[in-house]
């Protein structure tokens, strides 16, 4: 019955003017994308798990592929959203791009924390997980040195790890839109003001902070562009299947949040956003003083010009603090996510990282 | 001559969106950066947390009354499993370190090689002795003559 009606409707649409047909088809395609289309597949580059700890997993990508670069690359992801943004889909994947070029790529995926992980602190991630993952990578690859790439908050964690482990053979450090200086954060500074934002009560009540809370904070920075903008773009490009594919992939990732372990959140907001301890050499991790000046590895630090989550100013601040002789700072014409996903990323970000890495691994 | 145009509601809406978005953004941004908004956000957060706390306590009491495990209790079990896994991980690390750094395996292998060389030499000596025995004349019969 419904099928008959749909057929009748389709026949009727054929009779109306072309302009109106176009609008009908646009509306139909948008409805299909939002209600009927299956979720896109993500993280399809072949991988094997080489180590696990609690919910964290260490992956090695394309193990069967020849590794021409002698220094392995460990990617450290953030505690926000899922790491498949680094391996979104074939042809739009930083991991696939690098492994295809002969790099031995590993990814430390933190997994999805549960209520039992509410006591996890940044100390645990930085001192218990990352060093062990580095050791595993070195043993699996048989290499003497390692490169580490930190994405967003994962980069901030990587910098702390590198500062606290000068004895480890870290040859290269790559940071992608990682904030280091939290002095002037615009709206965030106002919203997270200690006088109004009750951080302790939030952590004590919720235990683990739901992903919606973090997503809400990020989207509130540009509410119209974030809440309405994506749907305007979708309707505008409803006849472009390639655009729709990219749109659904990105929307899947944006809405695929994970909870933030309470104690780590207390540190992240309290000691970074509210007190800006890292850049001022005031951060203490399990009794160890973190001094970014202890970092001597080669550095590639990439910021995105239109990033409002980790602004170029926040990212660039690292450059004056580290003791590295070989350090490069790049600002890409992109946003926080488009730096890694989309045509611009494939054309600019991936080759920039690959070229630098190859050059610094000889 | 008149140009025939058809109504395109989407184009109309998109045009309106693009024209008003920038202005609206400015207005919203102005509101969001006011201290009063931060204060309101803080009040909203407190009220939300108060409500969450109430819901959690009520649920916990109810679950206890009907003899069902609470979230706290289930997470305690999960923590116990994580702790056991942690101990296995530590053992795994020790075994791995031992295998890679302890020279005992190499020494045993060296010993094995030495013993097998020694074994071969012993065989050679025995062989030579047996050959010598066969070649030597029977001493006892000559003595009788």
Place of tokens 């280091």: A180
CA pair distance A33, B64, nearest whole angstrom: 44
CA of residue A20 relative to chain centroid, distance:
41
Mean local confidence (pLDDT), A214-229: 83
Least confident of A22-26, A55-59, A144-148: A22-26
Residue A12 predicted with pLDDT over 80: no
Q: What are phi and psi of A281, to 5 degrees?
A: 55, 35
A181 exposed, middle or buried (CB, 10 Å; 0-12, 13-18, 19+)? buried
pLDDT over 90 percentage in chain A: 70
pLDDT of residue B1: 45
* Partners of A301 in beta bridges: A175, A329
Q: What are phi and psi of B111, to 5 degrees?
A: -60, -45
Question: Using CB atoms, which residue from B9, B28, B93 is nearest to A224?
Answer: B28
Contact call for residues A310 and A303 (beta carbons, < 8 A)? yes
Mean local confidence (pLDDT), A74-103: 95
CA pair distance A313, A307, nearest whole angstrom: 10
pLDDT of residue B13: 81
Enumerate residues 81 to 110 of chain B having a beta carbon within 8 A of any beta carbon in chain A. 82, 85-86, 89, 93, 96, 100
Residue B145 predicted with pLDDT over 50: no
Least confident of A13-27, A57-71, A125-139, B44-58: A13-27
Name the token pair of B67: 């003899």
Closest among A132, A116, A7 to A58, alpha carbons compared: A132
Instruction: Write the pLDDT tens digit of every residue in A283-296.
Output: 999 999 999 999 99
Contact call for residues A207 and A115 (beta carbons, < 8 A)? yes
Q: Tell me whether residues A139 and B96 touch, CB distance under 8 A.
A: yes
Question: CB A250: neighbour CB atoms within 10 A?
Answer: 19
Torsion of CA A57, A265, A294, A276, to 10 degrees: 160
Q: Tell me whether residues B38 and A197 touch, CB distance under 8 A.
A: yes
Closest chain A residue to B71, measured at CA: A115
> Residue A258 has what DSSP assignment?
-
Q: Chain-wide mean pLDDT for chain A?
A: 92
Concatenated DSSP letters of A69-117: -SS-EEEE--SSS-GGGGG-BTTB-HHHHHHHTT--EEEEE-----GGG
Question: CB A104: neighbour CB atoms within 10 A?
Answer: 27
Chain A: give the shortest CA distance to residue B35, in Å.
Answer: 7
Pick the CATH number of A47-359 from 3.40.470.10, 3.40.50.1820, 1.10.10.10, 3.40.50.10140: 3.40.50.1820
CA pair distance A290, A277, nearest whole angstrom: 9
Name the token pair of A132: 């062990």
CA pair distance A199, A270, nearest whole angstrom: 7
| B25 touching A (Cβ < 8 Å) | yes
CA pair distance A80, A340, nearest whole angstrom: 15
pLDDT of residue A4: 59
pLDDT of residue B97: 85
Question: Using CB atoms, which residue from A190, A198, A222 is nearest to B33?
Answer: A190
Question: Using CB atoms, which residue from A26, A116, A193 is nearest to B38?
Answer: A193
CA pair distance A227, B26, nearest whole angstrom: 16
Q: Tell me whether residues B42 and A20 touch, CB distance under 8 A.
A: no
* Partners of A108 in beta bridges: A58, A76
Residue A141 predicted with pLDDT over 90: yes
pLDDT over 90 percentage in chain B: 50
Q: What is the ipTM of this complex?
A: 0.78
Concatenated DSSP letters of chain B: --------HHHHHHHHHHHHHHHHHHHHHHHHTSHHHHHHHHHHHHHHHHHHHHHHHHHHHHHHHTT---HHHHHHHHHHHHHHHHHHHHHHHHHHHHHHH-THHHHHHHHHHHHHHHHHHHHHHHHHHHHHHHHS--HHHHHH-
Closest among A79, A80, A71, A75 to A47, alpha carbons compared: A75
Task: Provide the residue ranges of all domains of chain A, joining segments of one domain with +.
Answer: 47-359
pLDDT over 70 percentage in chain A: 98
Residue A41 predicted with pLDDT over 60: yes
Task: Name the residue with higher pLDDT: B9 or A85.
Answer: A85
Q: How far is CA B66 from CA B58, B61, B70, B106, B112, in A?
A: 13, 9, 11, 62, 67
Mutate: best of A19, A26, A116, A124, partner B, most B CBs <10 A: A116
User: Is A152 known to be catalytic?
Assistant: yes
Instruction: Write the pLDDT tens digit of every residue in B5-60.
Output: 566 777 788 888 888 887 888 888 888 888 899 999 999 999 999 999 999 999 99
Element (H, E) at A310: none
Contact call for residues A78 and A253 (beta carbons, < 8 A)? no
């Amino acid at each position: 019955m419904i099928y008959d009606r749909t057929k009748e409707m389709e026949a009727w649409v054929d009779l109306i003017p072309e302009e109106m047909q176009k609008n009908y088809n646009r509306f139909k395609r948008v409805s299909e994308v939002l209600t009927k289309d299956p979720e896109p597949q993500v993280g399809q580059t072949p991988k094997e798990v080489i180590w696990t700890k609690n919910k964290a997993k260490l992956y090695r990508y394309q193990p069967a592929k020849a590794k021409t670069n002698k220094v392995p690359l460990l990617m450290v992801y953030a505690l926000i959203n899922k790491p498949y943004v680094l391996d979104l889909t074939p042809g739009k994947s930083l991991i696939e791009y690098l492994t295809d070029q002969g790099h031995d790529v590993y990814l430390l995926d933190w997994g999805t924390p549960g209520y039992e992980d509410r006591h996890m602190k940044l100390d645990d991630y930085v001192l218990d997980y990352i060093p062990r993952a580095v050791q595993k990578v070195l043993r699996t690859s048989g290499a003497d040195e390692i490169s580490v790439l930190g994405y967003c908050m994962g980069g901030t964690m990587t910098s702390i790890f590198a500062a606290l482990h000068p004895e480890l053979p870290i040859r290269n450090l790559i940071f992608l839109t990682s904030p280091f200086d939290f002095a002037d954060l615009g709206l965030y500074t106002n919203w997270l003001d200690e006088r109004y934002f009750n951080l302790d009560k939030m952590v004590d009540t919720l235990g683990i902070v739901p992903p919606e809370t973090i997503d809400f904070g990020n989207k509130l920075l540009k509410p119209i562009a974030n809440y309405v903008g994506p749907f305007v773009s979708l309707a505008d490009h409803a006849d472009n299947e390639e655009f729709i594919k990219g749109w659904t992939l990105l929307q899947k990732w944006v809405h695929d949040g994970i909870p933030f372990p309470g104690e780590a959140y207390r540190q992240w907001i309290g000691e970074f956003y509210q007190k800006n301890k890292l850049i001022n050499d005031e951060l203490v991790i399990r009794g160890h003083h973190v001094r970014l000046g202890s970092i001597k590895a080669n550095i590639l630090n990439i910021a995105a010009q239109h990033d409002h989550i980790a602004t170029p100013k926040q990212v660039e601040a690292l450059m004056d603090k580290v003791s590295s002789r070989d350090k490069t700072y790049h600002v890409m014409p992109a946003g926080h996510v488009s730096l890694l996903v989309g045509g611009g990323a494939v054309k600019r970000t991936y080759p920039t990282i690959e070229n630098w890495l190859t050059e610094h691994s000889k | 001559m008149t140009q025939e145009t058809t109504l395109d509601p989407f184009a109309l809406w998109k045009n309106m969106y693009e024209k008003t978005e920038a202005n609206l953004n400015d207005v919203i941004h102005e509101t969001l950066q006011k201290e009063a908004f931060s204060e309101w956000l803080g009040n909203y957060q407190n009220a939300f947390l108060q409500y969450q706390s109430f819901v959690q306590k009520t649920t916990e009491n109810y679950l206890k009354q009907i003899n069902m495990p609470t979230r706290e209790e289930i997470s305690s079990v999960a923590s116990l499993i994580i702790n056991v896994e942690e101990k296995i991980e530590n053992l795994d690390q020790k075994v791995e370190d031992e295998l890679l750094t302890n020279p005992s395996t190499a020494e045993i292998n060296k010993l094995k090689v030495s013993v097998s060389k020694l074994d071969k030499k012993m065989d050679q000596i025995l062989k030579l002795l047996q050959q010598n025995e066969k070649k030597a004349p029977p001493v006892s019969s000559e003595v009788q003559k």
